[in-house]
Amino acid sequence: MRFSPHDYQKYAIDYIESHPIAAVLLDMGLGKTVISLTAISDLLFDSFEAHRILVVAPLRVARDTWPAEIRKWEHLSGLTYAVAVGTARERKAALMQHADITIINRENLGWLIDDSGIPFTYDMVVLDELSSFKNHKSKRSQALMKVRPKVKRIIGLTGTPSSNGLMDLFAEFKVLDMGKRLGRFIGQYRDTYFTPDRMNGPIVYSYRLLPGAEDEIYRKISDITISMKCTDHLTMPEKIITQAEAVMLDAEAARYEKMKKELVLNLDGEEITAANAASLSGKLCQMANGAVYSDDGKITRIHDRKLDVLEDIIEAANGKPLLVAYWFRHDFERIAERLCERKIPFEKLDSDDSICRWNRKEIPVGLIHPASAGHGLNLQDGGSTIVWFGLTWSLELYQQTNARLWRQGQQSDTVVIQHIITKGTIDGQILRALSEKNDAQSALIDAVKAVM
């Protein structure tokens, strides 16, 4: 296929080629992969400013999306590539090909640098999903910092650089510029731009920005950063966000409240921290969905009201394909059980074959987990409606999962994002935090404190 870039794509390509360090914040659907590959091809074969390129991406994106894009475009036919995923032997075989572009999943970056036994000779690195490096203590971040001085050009790609607040930017930009703009140490960054917010004695649970700090952070990184939104450059389908309420019977609501009270009492008056707030929130989310895991791993059913609502939504769709996002394993099991009982065809979208058949509209109901759908999957050919059976606190996973359908190439004029909310539960607080784009940890703690 011949590539005819939009003006914004030409600008992004030129930016990557003219900036050895670049944070390219492209909204979902703007074509960041073909933009990056076009710049890579020019740097390899026109200006000769790059010689060996390493692409680090989420597993499915590394295995499927980048190779597919290289094969898709006519102007990239001269590029050679190797995909270093799979077993250690398969990864080593890929590395030994010495291709123009080596593509590896982010989980194996530490292995490549520390354990593969093969010298790191890449002079350009592309980090597809820069947000994967928001934890400066993670193995992948620390491994990359070891070889970062050897890398002459580095590109960070993402649509969600700070989904959990501007604290994320420190580690992301440190791997890009080695601490030049936001500092080399997290404590320095924190003291400069933030002040303690929630505290328990000397223990700080969260921070808030100092006055003027947000503008100063953006000013510091502006010389190596471009940001583009899809709504500025593309004619996107209309996005309709709706709610469908599930209402528990009195006895079910009483059981929910009893279990919630017992969970809260187990905290025994302790200060709500991120750790115990996450644990309690997880239990409350499970109960809102209709079941909860006991300490021994057994499933206790509380209600089926969300299943009833989902069944009604599927019936109202009248054969129109639906993408259903679930969060807990027992959600999937209970949804699958209900759909089997009603003889409604469905499939879990967790393989290349199932995704292809979804895009051919052969699957009426596709069940998908946000953690596996978050980045890089193109599902817009298979449908235009997503139903959230169970919600996540992660704004990044929420936005990225919705973007599998609400993106460039969607043939429908309207994309519907529907949420099944159980009345009187934590569901409402999660959806409010997502809609207001709140910091996940702060919103989670606030929600649990409200329960208390």
Looking at residue 438, its pLDDT comes to: 56
Q: What percent of the chain clears pLDDT 70, i.e. is strictly above it?
A: 89
Last residue of a domain, one of 233, 263, 278: 233
Average pLDDT over residues 87-101: 94
Global pTM reads: 0.64
**What would the pLDDT profile of 321-333 be if each residue is shown by its tens digit?**
999 999 999 999 9
Measured in whole angstroms, the distance separating CA 200 from the mean position of its chain's CA atoms is 31
Looking at residue 270, its pLDDT comes to: 44
Residues 193, 121: one domain? yes
Average pLDDT over residues 163-190: 88
Judged against a pLDDT cut of 60, whether residue 439 lies above it is answered with no
Average pLDDT over residues 8-35: 89
Contact by Cβ (8 Å): 72, 2: no
CATH number, position 22: 3.40.50.10810
Average pLDDT over residues 392-407: 86
**What would the pLDDT profile of 245-272 be if each residue is shown by its tens digit?**
898 999 888 888 887 777 665 544 444 3
Q: Which of 127, 124, 145 is nearest to 136 (CA)?
A: 145
Q: Which of 22, 16, 369, 8 is nearest to 161 (CA)?
A: 22
For the ranges 25-29, 195-199, 241-245, 264-268, the one whose mean pLDDT is highest: 241-245
Judged against a pLDDT cut of 90, whether residue 44 lies above it is answered with yes
Looking at residue 381, its pLDDT comes to: 86
Residues 372, 264: one domain? yes
Residues comprising the chain, all counted = 452
Residues 390, 242: one domain? yes
Measured distance CA(446)–CA(429) in Å, rounded: 9
Judged against a pLDDT cut of 80, whether residue 442 lies above it is answered with no
Average pLDDT over residues 61-80: 90
Residues 447, 338: one domain? yes
Residues 312, 202: one domain? no
Residues 114, 257: one domain? no
Does 1 fall in a domain? no
Residues 191, 293: one domain? no
Higher pLDDT, 29 or 434: 434
Higher pLDDT, 320 or 43: 43
Does 433 fall in a domain? yes
Residues 27, 75: one domain? yes
Look at 149-158, 192-201, 226-235 and tell me which has the smallest mean pLDDT.
Answer: 226-235
Looking at residue 182, its pLDDT comes to: 92
Residues 262, 162: one domain? no
Residue 273 pLDDT class (50, 70, 90 cuts): very low
Last residue of a domain, one of 178, 202, 233: 233
The structure tokens 């917010």 sit at: 197
CATH number, position 379: 3.40.50.300
Looking at residue 267, its pLDDT comes to: 41
**Which phi and psi (to 5°) does residue 137 adopt?**
-95, -5
Strand 21-26 vs strand 153-158: parallel, antiparallel, or unpaired?
Answer: parallel
Domain containing residue 187: 7-233
Residues 261, 181: one domain? no
Does 2 fall in a domain? no
Does 412 fall in a domain? yes
Judged against a pLDDT cut of 90, whether residue 450 lies above it is answered with no
Residue 320 pLDDT class (50, 70, 90 cuts): confident
Average pLDDT over residues 190-218: 85
Looking at residue 234, its pLDDT comes to: 63
Q: Report CA dihedral (136, 139, 142, 143) to the nearest 10 degrees.
A: -150
Measured distance CA(54)–CA(125) in Å, rounded: 5
Measured distance CA(338)–CA(121) in Å, rounded: 53
Judged against a pLDDT cut of 50, whether residue 452 lies above it is answered with no
Residues 338, 191: one domain? no
Judged against a pLDDT cut of 90, whether residue 229 lies above it is answered with no
Looking at residue 205, its pLDDT comes to: 75
Measured distance CA(291)–CA(408) in Å, rounded: 37
Contact by Cβ (8 Å): 24, 15: yes
Number of domains in the chain: 2
Higher pLDDT, 333 or 277: 333
Looking at residue 348, its pLDDT comes to: 94
**What would the pLDDT profile of 343-394 be if each residue is shown by its tens digit?**
999 999 988 888 889 999 999 999 999 988 655 577 888 888 999 999 998 8
Residues 296, 431: one domain? yes
Last residue of a domain, one of 233, 252, 280: 233
- Whole-number average pLDDT of the chain: 86
Residue 229 has, within 13 A of its CA and on its CB side, a CA count of 2
Residue 78 DSSP symbol? T
